[in-house]
Amino acid sequence: MAVVYNVLLYYQFVPIDDPEAFADEHRRLCMELGLKGRILVAPEGLNGTVSGPIEACDLYRSTVTSDQRFASMVFKVDQASGHAFEKLFVRVKKELVTFRADLPSDPNEITGKRLTPAQWKERIEKGDVIVLDGRTDYEYDIGHFRGAIRPDCESFREFPDWIRTHLADARHKPILTYCTGGIRCEKLTSFMLRDGFTDVYQLDGGIVSYGKDPDTKGALWDGLCYVFDERVTVEINHTDDRHVIGRCHHCGEPTERYVNCRNYRCRLQHIACPECERQFNSACSIACMEAPERPWYPGQPPRESSTSQRTETA
Ligand SMILES: [Zn+2]
Ligand SMILES: [Zn+2]
Tell how far the Cα of 106 is from the centroid of ligand 2, in angstroms.
Answer: 38
Question: What does the pLDDT look like over 202-221, one tens digit per residue?
Answer: 999 999 999 999 999 999 99
To the question of domain 5-92 being in CATH 3.30.70.100, the answer is yes
Domain 113-234: CATH class, spelled out: alpha beta
The residue from 30, 57, 153, 179 that is catalytic is: 179
Whole-prediction pTM value? 0.89
Phi and psi, residue 109, nearest 5°: -90, -50
Question: What does the pLDDT look like over 252-294, one tens digit per residue?
Answer: 999 999 999 999 999 999 999 999 999 999 999 999 999 988 7
pLDDT at position 297: 67
Tell how far the Cα of 285 is from the centroid of ligand 2, in angstroms.
Answer: 6
pLDDT at position 204: 97
Residues lining ion ligand 2 (Cβ < 5 A) are 261, 263, 266, 268, 284, 288
Tell how far the Cα of 268 is from the centroid of ligand 2, in angstroms.
Answer: 5
pLDDT at position 306: 45
Tell how far the Cα of 254 is from the centroid of ligand 2, in angstroms.
Answer: 20
* Ligand sitting nearest the alpha carbon of 267: 2
* Ligand sitting nearest the alpha carbon of 271: 1
User: Known catalytic residue: 179?
Assistant: yes
* Ligand sitting nearest the alpha carbon of 259: 2
* Ligand sitting nearest the alpha carbon of 277: 1
Tell how far the Cα of 282 is from the centroid of ligand 1, in angstroms.
Answer: 11
Tell how far the Cα of 224 is from the centroid of ligand 1, in angstroms.
Answer: 18
Task: Write out the residue limits of the CATH 3.30.70.100 domain(s) in the chain.
Answer: 5-92
Taking the C-alpha atoms of 78, 82, 88 and 89 in order, what is their torsion angle to the nearest 10 degrees?
-40
Tell how far the Cα of 306 is from the centroid of ligand 2, in angstroms.
Answer: 13
* Ligand sitting nearest the alpha carbon of 274: 1
Task: Write out the residue limits of the CATH 3.40.250.10 domain(s) in the chain.
Answer: 113-234
Question: What does the pLDDT look like over 297-312, one tens digit per residue?
Answer: 666 655 544 444 465 6
Per-run averaged pLDDT (10 residues), the chain, 314 residues = 91 97 98 98 97 98 98 95 96 90 86 97 96 95 96 91 95 97 95 96 97 96 95 95 95 95 93 97 96 73 51 58
pLDDT at position 98: 85
Tell how far the Cα of 227 is from the centroid of ligand 2, in angstroms.
Answer: 21
pLDDT at position 72: 95
